[in-house]
Structure 1
Amino acid sequence: MDEVFIPDFFLWPRSEVSWLPGCTHLSLSESVRPDLALTEEELIAASELRRQRDAAKTHRYRKRKREENEKGFLRNNLAQHQSWSERNPGRVDDIAAGVRKKAKDLERFRCNLCNYNAATQFALDAHDLSQAHLDAAKRGFKALKPLSAAALNRRASRADAVANQTHFCAPCNKACSSSTDLKRRCNLCDHNAATQ
């Protein structure tokens, strides 16, 4: 079988591969090693083809398992996800934060009336039912609330504190806007490293 080049199975004929593999479809099931004499285009093509085939294989497997027993499939998926989440507690939050940020950046769930980007469809649905959105829908535009006098004074005093360096962190060479901000800064790792 390896004497014949089959374009939908092998990436290239065996005779054209410089490192003379024992099996020409090795690169379809695992990534191509970077120290081989392959061009950048061949590496990209191999990686993309492998990704497409893996996705198609996973899709077929999940479809077959779902058709066999939908409840069992969902229960098994949930159990696998929970066990992975327990083993990787920090990664779950990192991935979720990345997904939310990407959804907001791409404006996937957007309320144009309120100029609001939600992270999920559920959050957008909740926003659509909020009083602020309903009021904006009645008016046809979102009314911006003016800042209170206290908020304006706080903003001005913080700007003055930074300009006058009232709360200044010498090791970090940074002016803070308040004493609380300065205390928080003093507890940071980079501040502790700078003082040593």
Structure 2
Amino acid sequence: MGIKEFFTGKKKTELEKNIEERNLCGSKLQELQADLRAFNEAKKHVETELRIDQKNNTLKGRLNKLNQAIEETQREIDETNKRAGELANEISKLNKDKKTQEIHDVAKRDIEVFKRQHRASILNKKLYPINLEIESRAGSAGALSPNHLTKYAGKQRLDRGNPEDIEYLDVFDEMKNEVSKEAQKELEEVLEKVDSYLNG
């Protein structure tokens, strides 16, 4: 990790590294091509002088060195061009992968909206017949009275003002309160699950 990354806490991505290397290749190519032009220019001058003085070994030595420098520089240019091409392909692929990932990330936000709507929609369809059943049961006034106990007591109705009926009604009220508390607790658990389902 470089000093910049150490202080900023940011690590370079593979894409950033490749772009940086490609830029370095571009700078290197400019330098190599400038060197190659200079070597070729120098070679022309030496060849011109050799036409005048064909036996000059110093000029021949300089020409050999220039030919070697030209060959070496051209080899470096070819290698750098090849590497630049490889980097261009890698950058193109990484940019494509990055875009694909960005598309998926953005699509997830749309899917989250769809999921919430879809869950609500299918729950609404399932709740319709259940709601009819709820309304039917909730509207049954007869369920609020201890009809079986009344019949067991051999009466038409139980009256809290009648001491004989208190035992029956107290048992009914006690059990009714227990069932009401249990139903409330179960309802809260169901509603918590529904909330989790809708907003999860």
TM-score by length of 1: 0.20
Which protein is richer in helix relative to its size? 2
**Larger relative contact order (CA 8 Å, sep ≥ 6):** 2
TM-score by length of 2: 0.20
Which protein is richer in strand relative to its size? 1
